[in-house]
Amino acid sequence: MTETSSLNRSWLIRMIVIAIVFIGFGAWGAWDAFKAYPARGVRHAEFLEKEYLDAADKRGRIMSASVPNPAMVHAQIQGQGGATDEVENARYRWLNALRVVNRLDESYTTIADPSARLTELREKWATTKPPKPLSELDIPTQYLIMVGCSVIGLLVVGVIIKASGTKYGFDPSTSTLTLPGNHTVTPADLADVDKRKWHKFIVFLKLKPSHPTRANEEIKIDLLRHAKVEGWVLAMEAAAFPELAAASRSTDAQTTDALNQGQQGQQGQSSGEQQA
């Protein structure tokens, strides 16, 4: 009866965890980029609006506190090398905070009743801690986190989907391996079983020129992703190259005997020391 491979459970769990972590960070970045950071920036701009109106009120200039064409005013203050007085400095800080959250527009800088607005803001911020200001890179960084982590997470999901669609089959009675695409490989088709990356759970099956569909090809098989395939490859190798398999078993047996003898010697030495 032909057996069919399945995904290695430990590999699958690890990949699912990795995908969840990266997609989770991507969602977190999206929340910060679209919701949390802009909201914090708006609150900071509102606090600086209160500071600006306070400064204008102290100088008796509160009734002219509205800022028409705020983008031009912001550019003018920046171009002249900075503010010339306390009110202008407070105005610039407010406009700059609005710029960071894309609100440098007359709809946000036109104040119908500056005195009433100042009273409202004083009452609000009297019991509220001012939020931390946003830097120029805060929101763009969250966009990068959102995109980068989401892409990595989706790529991992793609790897899982691709691996789940890759199936191997094996007929124990003939040691025949069925590759994806329904190509079959028997021990007689093997020119070599290359284990140069065996430590990375990768094996290469080198096929003979006589193979009917994949002559002279080197087939790469990921043993980590697919359960049972490692045992099938070893069974094919043993059938194709019995001398090498016997030599490998002999080497393994000698290594085991040497280890056992070493352990016995250490136990005998320990017993002698205890008797002494």
Dump pLDDT digits (tens) for 20-53. Answer: 999 999 999 999 999 999 999 999 999 999 999 9
Query: Residue 198's closest CA among 221, 228, 172?
Result: 221
Position 189 scores a pLDDT of: 95
Q: If we measure between CA atoms, which residue out of 77, 78, 28, 67 comes closest to residue 45?
A: 67
* Ranges of residues in the chain whose predicted pLDDT is under 50: 252, 255-256, 259, 276
Predicted pLDDT of residue 154: 97
pLDDT at 273: 55
- Distance between CA atoms of residues 238 and 249, nearest Å: 10
**164: closest CA among 222, 206, 233?**
222
- Residue 190 near residue 205, CB atoms below 8 Å: yes
* pLDDT attached to residue 264: 57
- Report the alpha-carbon distance of residue 254 to residue 28 in Å, rounded: 56
Q: Where are the domains of the chain?
A: 8-140, 169-271
CB 170 within 8 A of CB 3: yes
Query: What pLDDT score does 158 carry?
Result: 97
Length of the chain: 276
Task: Supply φ then ψ for residue 126, to 5 degrees.
Answer: -65, -30
- Supply angle C-alpha 34, 37, 40, rounded to 5: 130
Per-residue tokens: 7: 């995904």
pTM, two decimals, is 0.75
